[in-house]
């Protein structure tokens, strides 16, 4: 058991032959000083230990707070990353959807333009064929028109078939002064008679020697 300072101060020794009393008292005083110093140091150490213990507890509390803050930050970070990934995925999905829609619309427009182009090409081929056929018909129709050589041959045939003698030109006579014609009364409506079929019967006479002549639209050189 450790002695206390009071016990050391109250200690007494029996007197006899041996150590000197003064030396013993001086040593006891030194021991007391040493003990008091140790006691003071012990108190300082205990106080410092209390301070350190308090700080350790504070550090532990702070560590728990920091740990909780780190965990909270980690949770917030995880949530933020998760939300960012979700938003990024949605943005990518929307972009891909829009790209697919644009691609689909572009393909449809391209197909429509190709169809229009091919239709125009087909129409141009049809128009070319129609123009070519029309041109060929016109070329063929030109063959039915008489040429200068055909007209000359026809003239020779007419001259042979229907010869004529040249008519002498009448001598020029000084014209007499014209007299004013007598007024002619207008025919009465009651006495006007329109021409009948008998009046122009000679026109339809098929026995005429000129009945075989053809003119105008009925004329066909190749038919002769």
Q: What's the pLDDT at 9?
A: 67
Q: How far is CA 170 from CA 31, 39, 63, 184, in A?
A: 194, 184, 151, 31
Q: What's the pLDDT at 157?
A: 86
Which pTM does this prediction carry? 0.33
Mean pLDDT, consecutive 10-residue stretches, the chain (224 aa), reads 65 64 78 84 90 88 85 89 92 93 93 93 92 88 82 86 71 57 49 42 43 48 50
Query: DSSP state, 145?
Result: S
- Alpha helical stretches, state H, 144-219: 148-161
Q: What's the pLDDT at 180?
A: 59
Whether 8 contacts 34, CB under 8 Å:
no
d(CA 143, CA 221): 10
Q: What's the pLDDT at 173?
A: 53
Whether 45 contacts 75, CB under 8 Å:
no
d(CA 79, CA 81): 5
């Amino acid at each position: 058991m450790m002695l206390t300072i009071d016990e050391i101060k109250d200690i007494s020794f029996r007197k006899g032959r041996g150590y000197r009393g003064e030396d013993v008292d001086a040593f006891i005083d030194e021991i007391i000083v040493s003990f008091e110093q140790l006691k003071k140091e012990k108190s300082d150490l205990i106080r410092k230990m209390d301070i350190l213990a308090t700080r350790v507890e504070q550090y532990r509390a702070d560590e728990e707070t920091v740990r909780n803050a780190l965990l909270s930050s980690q949770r917030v970070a995880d949530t933020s990353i998760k939300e960012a990934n979700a938003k990024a995925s949605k943005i990518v999905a929307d972009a891909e959807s829009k790209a697919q829609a644009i691609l689909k619309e572009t393909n449809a427009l391209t197909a429509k333009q190709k169809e229009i182009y091919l239709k125009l090409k087909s129409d141009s081929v049809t128009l070319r064929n129609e123009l070519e056929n029309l041109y060929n018909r016109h070329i063929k129709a030109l063959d039915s028109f008489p040429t200068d050589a055909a007209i000359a041959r026809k003239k020779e045939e007419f001259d042979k078939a229907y010869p004529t003698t040249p008519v002498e030109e009448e001598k020029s006579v000084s014209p007499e002064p014209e007299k004013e014609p007598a007024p002619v009364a207008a025919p009465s409506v009651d006495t006007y008679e329109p021409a009948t079929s008998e009046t122009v019967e000679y026109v339809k006479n098929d026995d005429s020697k000129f009945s075989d002549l053809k003119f105008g639209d009925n004329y066909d050189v190749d038919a002769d």
